[in-house]
């Protein structure tokens, strides 16, 4: 069992406030992974981490179209990995393959532990919210994972508080604004305490303020120790969040580079063109 | 002996008017015989609805989420069963429940229970087929997210049933309407026994065959009013609940 | 929540079980003519009061009622087609057959009477005129006692109505009431039992044209379904009902049933069958 020092009760918003205070980041840095749930739960079970993730020779064909070709890389624990590239590069398909929503045509996806499926979560471009209350949405995957009703509700409430939705807990989820919906989806995913969180363009249909709120939550989750793997076509967002960048182009992974180096000067000509804002196809 | 041949010369228009008057009279006086028939109708059809829903809705949800060889054939069969003639269903159940049949020892023929079974058999395929259609759209929306949560088809079924509850209410009402309006099957397996298995539809058929068309029509109006009331009630509940659940 | 669930379950069970409360009862397969004439509503409460046994009547055509008895789905069969009843007994499905009562058939037709049969006392002559005039005639066509009686009359009249099938001879395959409704709508002739005719409301142009012929008498018989064939048959209760029907009390109850002062059925348990 890993250390079970839990996240401070004050909640993520306050933690984030700390984060932006000088020296605040260190508070979070000292906060290890959130507590695994004890008992019969399947959440956070197991001892070894599911990372690193090794991907080898990954191909995906949809009919005659080769969406991904011979993609290989390794994801280590650490800061957010941002998958960028022009539309149609295969970013979303790559995430779905990693999260086992799609089956590869060829290649291997090797996790650190066999039970990796239970220790990851995914956020979609358009949040899929159940036709239930905000609280019931956040509790749903916990109940699914075998948590008792009371415990699931309590944890869901705590997660809602961390994304600032505790006041809306009893509202119908689908009546929330777009930004609130995506924050709820984040809280719901975070409640599962995944080791890896996949995010597929989570801000694509959000306004700047809502985007900012989502980014803050993502940063806080990353600080909590959750490995963020996220696609975006928004270079500004990539600059703000990325620790490393994976650049996809026409189904090929052209480079995997630490963010600072990538934005200073990418190795591939395609990535340079992409950064200059030239249309790539 | 000579028959006192009082010819009923009343025109059809007067018949209609007198049907409305009779219907009002039946309601106003709360005619005990009619009220008993009405209550039995409601009880039989609502119980049949509950039984059919217990089977039909999960089956519909499962067909919405599951992909297996032969699924298309099952869907075709289900849609065909929606058109199962009540008389045929009634006959099959009659042969099953008859003392000479396999379930004869239960002694269920010519009882309200037999009528419940017949109506449930008639409407279960309707509930399954309609709920499958309704829930398939919902599943398209939910599938990726639920799979991401690790929910397989079996676990998705209760989720879809709960989240589709407002649309399913309409499905249930369709089933109830068909059950309450059904006459062929309950006539055969119930026997239209006065005070025991006589329901609104068989009473209407009886009064029609006795030539008392105004009374038959009045009973028909009453039945329509009841079905309307049940629909209105369900619609009201649905809207109140939807207001809260979104 | 669990409490609510339990309450709901209890309510559902109570609701579903309301009518299954067991009482002593028998099922009688009988004919539409006895049920729709209102006879049963009159006499059955008297029997139930005397015996504590409820009687559930399933009203069908005589042929169907006998089939229900053959399958063992009724305890007692109470019908009106002597030949068919004797066959039923001979085949061992039930019996013995007991005479209960009789009434009579009437030839009904439109007041305009295109075949000119009004006032005839010879029913077969009336049928011959209808056939000659090719005037519309509605037949039950449902193997009922009335249908059997009608076919016997045609035979006695020496007419094969089947040649007019689909034209003037129209078989509806339904009960007495629907057949009367059809005849009223088409201004057709038909053979009806007097009981149903008297309680029938939608007569329009129809009236009785021929009655009183001895061949129009209509005998009712009652039989217990053979409990050896069908162990589910409630033999004791069924026999009690039969015994009551032919007892002075039952016979008096039948004689007492009248519509607008007119007696519908004539008890004859102790007398020979008329027209036999």
CATH code of the domain covering residue A248: 3.40.50.300
Q: Across the interface, which of B144, B151, B163 has its CB nearest the CB of A101?
A: B144
**pLDDT for the residue numbered C266:** 92
**pLDDT for the residue numbered A13:** 43
- Clarify whether residues C98 and C234 are in a common domain: yes
Determine contact, residues A171/A156, Cβ cutoff 8 Å: no
Model pTM? Answer: 0.81
Q: Which residue of C has its CA nearest to B114?
A: C20
Q: Is A147 helix (H, G, I), strand (E, B) or coil?
A: coil
pLDDT at A1 over 70: no
Q: Which residues pair with C137 in a beta bridge?
A: C169, C189
Is C15 part of a structural domain of the chain? no
Higher per-residue pLDDT: B124 or A24 = B124
What pLDDT, in 10s, does the model give residues B29-47? Answer: 878 888 889 999 999 999 9
Using DSSP bridges, classify how beta strands A120-123 and A196-200 pair: parallel, antiparallel or unpaired.
parallel
- Clarify whether residues C160 and C83 are in a common domain: no
**C18 min Cα distance to partner chain B (Å):** 9
Last residue of a domain, one of C216, C234, C254: C216
Average pLDDT, chain B: 88
The token duo for C219 is: 């005998």
What pLDDT, in 10s, does the model give residues A210-264? Answer: 999 999 999 999 998 999 999 998 899 999 999 999 999 999 999 999 999 999 9
pLDDT at C272 over 80: no
Strands (E), A76-195: 81-84, 106-110, 120-123
Total residue length of chain A: 281
List of residues 6+ apart from B132 with CB closer than 8 A:
B59, B60, B61, B63, B64, B75, B78
C82 interfacial to chain B (CB closer than 8 Å): no
Is C5 part of a structural domain of the chain? no
Determine contact, residues A273/A266, Cβ cutoff 8 Å: no
**pLDDT for the residue numbered C3:** 66
Domain count, chain A: 1
Contacts of C73 in chain B (CB under 8 A): 98-100, 109-110
Report, as an integer, the average pLDDT of C226-232: 91
- Residue B195 Rama label (left phi>0; alpha psi -120 to 50; beta): left
The token duo for C6 is: 């339990």
- Clarify whether residues C95 and C164 are in a common domain: no
Instruction: Give the chains touching C; criterion: ≥3 Cβ pairs < 8 Å.
Output: B
CATH code of the domain covering residue C31: 3.40.190.10
CA separation for the pair A183, B114 (Å, rounded): 54
Instruction: List C residues 133-162 in contact with B (Cβ-Cβ < 8 A).
Output: none
Report, as an integer, the average pLDDT of A114-120: 80
What pLDDT, in 10s, does the model give residues B139-159? Answer: 999 999 999 998 888 889 999
Which residues form the domain of C59? Answer: 25-102+219-267
Is it true that domain B32-245 has CATH number 1.10.15.40? no
pLDDT at A70 over 70: yes
Residue B244, Cβ neighbours under 10 Å: how many? Answer: 10
The token duo for C50 is: 């005397």
Determine contact, residues A25/A223, Cβ cutoff 8 Å: yes
pLDDT at B84 over 50: yes
pLDDT at C172 over 70: yes
> Helix axis angle, C248-255 relative to C235-246, nearest 10°?
60
Q: In the structure, what pLDDT confidence band is assigned to residue A37 with cuts at 50, 70 and 90?
A: very low
Last residue of a domain, one of C183, C201, C216: C216
Higher per-residue pLDDT: C15 or C76 = C76
**Count of CB pairs separated by less than 8 Å, B with C:** 114
Is A45 part of a structural domain of the chain? yes
Is A198 part of a structural domain of the chain? yes
Does the predicted interface ipTM exceed a cut of 0.90? no
Chain centre to alpha carbon of residue B2: 46
Is A167 part of a structural domain of the chain? no
Determine contact, residues A54/A110, Cβ cutoff 8 Å: yes
Determine contact, residues A161/A11, Cβ cutoff 8 Å: yes
Total residue length of chain B: 246
Determine contact, residues A248/A230, Cβ cutoff 8 Å: no
**pLDDT for the residue numbered B159:** 94
pLDDT at A135 over 60: yes
Q: What is the largest CA-CA distance in chain A?
A: 55
**pLDDT for the residue numbered C16:** 57
Domain count, chain C: 2
Report, as an integer, the average pLDDT of A173-188: 94
Higher per-residue pLDDT: C183 or C37 = C183
Residue in the structure block whose two tokens are 């002739």: C189
Is C150 part of a structural domain of the chain? yes
Q: Which ranges of A192-254 would DSSP assign to H, the alpha helix?
A: 208-223, 235-241
Q: Which of A274-278, B189-193, C210-214 has the lowest mean pLDDT?
A: A274-278
**pLDDT for the residue numbered B114:** 95
pLDDT at C21 over 60: no
Report, as an integer, the average pLDDT of C232-249: 94
Report, as an integer, the average pLDDT of B180-198: 92
Q: Across the interface, which of B141, B151, B164 has its CB nearest the CB of A144?
A: B151
What pLDDT, in 10s, does the model give residues C87-140? Answer: 999 999 997 999 999 999 999 999 999 999 998 999 999 999 999 999 999 999
Residue in the structure block whose two tokens are 């034209």: C167
Average pLDDT, chain C: 89
């Amino acid at each position: 069992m890993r250390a079970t020092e839990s996240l401070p009760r004050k909640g993520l918003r306050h933690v984030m406030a700390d984060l932006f205070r000088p020296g605040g980041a260190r508070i979070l840095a000292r906060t290890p992974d959130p507590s695994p749930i004890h008992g019969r739960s399947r959440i956070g079970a197991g001892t070894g981490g599911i990372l690193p993730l090794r991907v080898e020779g990954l191909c995906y064909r949809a009919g005659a179209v080769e969406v991904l070709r011979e993609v290989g890389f390794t994801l280590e624990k650490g800061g957010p990995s941002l998958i960028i590239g022009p539309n149609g590069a295969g970013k979303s398909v790559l995430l779905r393959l990693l999260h086992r929503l799609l089956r590869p045509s060829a290649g291997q996806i090797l996790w650190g532990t066999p039970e990796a499926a239970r220790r990851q979560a995914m956020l979609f471009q358009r949040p899929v919210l159940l036709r239930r209350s905000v609280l019931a949405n956040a509790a749903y995957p916990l109940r699914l994972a075998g948590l008792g009703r009371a415990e699931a509700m309590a944890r869901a409430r705590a997660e809602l508080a961390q994304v600032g939705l505790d006041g809306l807990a009893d509202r119908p989820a689908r009546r929330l604004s777009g930004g609130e919906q995506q924050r709820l989806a984040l809280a719901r995913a975070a409640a599962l305490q995944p080791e890896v969180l996949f995010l597929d363009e989570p801000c694509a249909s959000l306004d700047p303020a809502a985007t900012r709120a989502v980014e803050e939550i993502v940063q806080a989750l990353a600080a909590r120790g959750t490995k963020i793997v996220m696609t975006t076509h928004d270079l500004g967002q990539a600059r703000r969040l990325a620790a490393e960048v994976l650049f996809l182009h026409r189904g090929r992974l052209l480079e995997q580079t630490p963010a600072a180096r990538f934005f200073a000067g990418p190795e591939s000509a395609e990535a340079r063109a992409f950064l200059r804002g030239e249309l790539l196809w | 002996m000579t028959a006192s041949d009082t010819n009923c010369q009343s025109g059809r228009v007067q018949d209609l008017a007198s049907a409305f008057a009779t219907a009002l009279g039946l309601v106003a006086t709360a005619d005990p015989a009619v009220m008993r028939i009405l209550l039995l109708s409601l009880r039989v059809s609502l119980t049949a609805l509950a039984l059919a829903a217990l089977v039909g809705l999960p089956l519909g949800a499962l067909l919405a989420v599951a992909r297996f060889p032969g699924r298309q054939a099952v869907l075709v069969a289900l849609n065909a069963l929606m058109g199962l003639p009540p008389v045929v269903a009634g006959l099959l159940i009659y042969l099953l429940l008859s003392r000479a049949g396999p379930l004869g020892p239960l002694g269920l023929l010519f009882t309200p229970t037999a009528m419940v079974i017949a109506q449930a058999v008639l409407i279960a395929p309707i509930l399954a087929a309609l709920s499958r259609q309704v829930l398939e759209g919902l599943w398209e929306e939910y599938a990726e997210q639920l799979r991401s949560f690790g929910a397989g088809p079996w676990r998705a079924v209760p989720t879809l049933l709960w989240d589709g509850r407002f649309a399913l209410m309409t499905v249930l009402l369709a089933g109830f309407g068909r059950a309450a309006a059904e006459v062929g099957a309950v006539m055969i397996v119930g026997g239209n026994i006065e005070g025991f298995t006589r329901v609104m539809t068989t009473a209407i058929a009886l009064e029609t065959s006795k030539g008392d068309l105004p009374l038959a029509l009045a009973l028909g109006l009453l039945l329509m009013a009841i079905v309307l009331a049940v629909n209105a009630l369900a619609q009201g509940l649905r809207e109140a609940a939807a207001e809260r659940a979104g | 929540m669990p409490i609510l669930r339990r309450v709901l379950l209890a309510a559902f069970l109570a609701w579903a079980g309301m009518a299954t409360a067991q009482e002593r009862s028998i099922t009688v397969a009988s004919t539409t003519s006895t049920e729709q004439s209102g006879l049963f509503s009159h006499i059955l409460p008297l029997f139930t009061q005397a015996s504590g046994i409820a009687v559930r009547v399933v009203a069908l055509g005589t042929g169907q009622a006998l089939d229900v008895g053959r399958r063992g789905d009724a305890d007692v069969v109470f019908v009106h087609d002597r030949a068919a009843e004797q066959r039923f007994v001979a085949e061992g499905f039930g019996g013995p057959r007991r005479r209960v009562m009789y009434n009579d058939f009437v030839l009904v037709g439109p007041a305009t009477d295109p075949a000119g049969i009004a006032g005839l006392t010879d029913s077969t002559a009336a049928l011959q005129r209808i056939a000659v005039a090719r005037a519309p005639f509605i037949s039950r066509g449902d193997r009922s006692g009335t249908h059997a009686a009608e076919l016997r009359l045609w035979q006695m009249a020496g007419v094969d109505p089947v040649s007019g099938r689909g034209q003037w001879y129209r078989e509806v395959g339904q009960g007495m009431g629907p057949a009367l409704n059809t005849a009223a709508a088409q201004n057709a002739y038909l053979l009806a039992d007097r009981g149903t005719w008297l309680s029938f409301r939608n007569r329009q142009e129809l009236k009785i044209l021929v009655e009183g012929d001895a061949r129009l008498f209509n005998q009712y018989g009652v039989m217990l379904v053979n409990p050896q064939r069908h162990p589910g048959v409630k033999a004791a209760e069924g026999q009690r009902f039969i015994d009551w029907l032919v007892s002075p009390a039952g016979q008096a109850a039948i004689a007492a049933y009248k519509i607008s002062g007119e007696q519908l059925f004539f008890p004859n348990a102790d007398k020979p069958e008329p027209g036999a």
